[in-house]
Structure 1
């Protein structure tokens, strides 16, 4: 059930969030990690992203407010969001408490990004849409207003929920075509901030191999494969690590001009903000800081 119109996020709140995150952000699972050995590096890397001009950092994986807190404390402006916090693994009351603590200490610096995760990862997974509605009801009662949260929405119903019960959507693993459809559903007010993967390599075979190795695990999840099929891809495109057609649609690779144009296509399709994920052939947890610097340079 959608909440009453009077309780929906106000347009000025949505506009404020759009202004805060700017046009470009960085999506990173490595910045979410909790090991104390590299805490200083993560904080310093986030401070550098702020200096480079990125408006937001989106913490990949099943992230929470506790992962964002040290990054926010190490910076003065950049917004930090979860992308995403699983509604199955984090109780709404705890999510609300984590949000409230950061909102008091650093107002407007933390965005609660929520998602329904994937059936293969969650025991007892069922009725994801209704479960999300119930979760948002709990957040409302706890005082987490719609203007402070976004949803990892892919399909039409979840996009409508992002419009009616949140400040917008942060779709993952999508194309400009999906962005155009999402903007039509959301309308002009809500934030639309798709994630987009970038391989900073101009060699076709090597770039696609890096991309394919990274994409393979996501093709095990029906949420993504069904969305690709809705976008016109075929079963052949989503098997064996993904076809070249699929790889080239969901990854940018090539020279600086090509990558810049691929990112611009999302804005042209209606995105307010693009969360850029640098994908490298590197050990898990490695922060692609040279890649972030190159992105900042090519984006000006």
Structure 2
């Protein structure tokens, strides 16, 4: 399983038109990207994994992330074993605790003690028959305790909505062995006004989630940075500009200790596959 190079993170690979998702996956593989990442919101997540694996020949398909509250561990382990055997071990299972606002929507109070919940979920994956091997799973980890768990109980960590400074701290926490596979949001554009028009509302939505807000506060941003979405915060979280500018940001992650970076492309139309942007970035990044 090659987890070097540059991957693509996109909700459209899971929730977009299935036919275009398959066609895009095949093209992304030919463009030289090394992994396809997509999120989970419950439901038939393994059908989506199968759909992308079937459409491709060698690229890694990864959940970014599988929401542990929404899936039975025994079924997860059985599904993983089937997919791993059928598709030459190209499925990487990213697992995360998600957010209280999503988990408690249908069952208030269910989201609690996320570190303990993750530990228990991993225990059940280990005890399943067959188990999900540690080398085939990574954890969505931002804070020190979850990063420590990722180092001890998984192949590494898949941080989301981070910065190169977070990558540096995560590498320090993980040590030299585990993989570090951060997501980096990017906007191909001509200037700041265009970048803010595309990314401002998207980022504000994430800053309302305590997991991400608290992580950014730990990194030294102020409550005012978050409330106003300051230029400093926006520029550090979202890489914007031309292909060269985005390439420099990925180089910063690598210099800070990342093994692989997956790019999430934002455009003015969030419902359209950003295929032109993926092509342009592939020429510069892969």
Check whether TM > 0.5: yes
8 Å contact kept, 2:39–2:65: yes
Deviation at 1:107, TM superposition (A): 2.4
Q: Is 1:44 matched with 2:23?
A: yes
- Unaligned stretches of 5+ residues in structure 2: 105-109
The aligned counterpart of 1:14 is none
Write the distance in 2 (CA, Å) between the matches of 1:92 and 1:57: 23
SS at match of 2:61: strand
Q: Check the 8 A contact 1:119/1:125 in 2, yes or no.
A: yes
In the alignment, the residues of structure 2 paired with residue 297 and residue 50 of structure 1 have an alpha-carbon distance, to the nearest angstrom, of 13
TM-score, normalized by length of structure 2? 0.94
How many Å apart are 1:295 and its aligned residue? 0.7
Tell me how far 1:222 sits from its aligned partner.
0.3
* d(CA) in 2 for partners of 1:151, 1:276: 18
Residue correspondences, number:
277
1:246-266 CA-partner distances (Å, limit 9, x unpaired): 110011111222221111100
Asked whether the 8 Å contact 2:3–2:259 carries over to 1, the reply is no
1:195 matched to which residue of 2? 183
Runs of 4+ in 1 over 3 A off after TM superposition: none
Contact 1:194 / 1:271 at 8 angstroms: preserved in 2? yes
Partner of 2:204: helix, strand, or coil?
A: helix
1:117 is matched with: 98
What are the equivalent positions in structure 2 for 1:171-182 lying under 5 Å apart? 171-182=159-170
SS in 2 for 1:154: coil
| Aligned-residue offset at 1:298 | 1.4
Q: Deviations over 1:251-284 (max 9, x none)?
A: 1111222221111100010000001000111043
Deviation at residue 214 of structure 1 after TM alignment: 1.1
| CA distance 1:61–1:239, shift in 2 (3 Å) | farther
> Residues 163 and 190 of structure 1 are in contact (CA less than 8 Å); yes or no, is this contact kept in structure 2?
yes
State the distance in 1 between where 2:75 and 2:230 align: 41
**Deviations 1:107-131, CA, capped at 9 Å, x for gaps:** 2210111000111222221010001
Inter-partner Cα distance in structure 2 for 1:21 and 1:272: 7
- Kindly indicate whether residue 175 of structure 2 is the aligned counterpart of residue 166 of structure 1: no
2:5 pairs with one of 12, 20, 23? 23
1:76 aligns with 2:57: yes
Alpha-carbon contact 1:195-1:276 (below 8 Å) kept: yes
Q: Which moved more, 1:103-112 or 1:266-275?
A: 103-112
Q: Report the Cα offset of residue 93 of structure 1.
A: 1.3
The residue number in structure 2 matching 1:32 is 14
Query: What TM-score, normalized by structure 1, do the two folds share?
Result: 0.90
1:237 and 2:225 aligned: yes
Deviation at 1:185, TM superposition (A): 1.1
Cα separation, 1, equivalents of 2:230 and 2:79: 41
Could you tell me which residue of structure 1 aligns to residue 107 of structure 2? none
For 2:264, which of 277, 289, 292 is the aligned residue? Answer: 277
- CA-based RMSD of the aligned residues comes to 1.2
Return 5+ residue gaps in structure 1 as ranges.
1-16
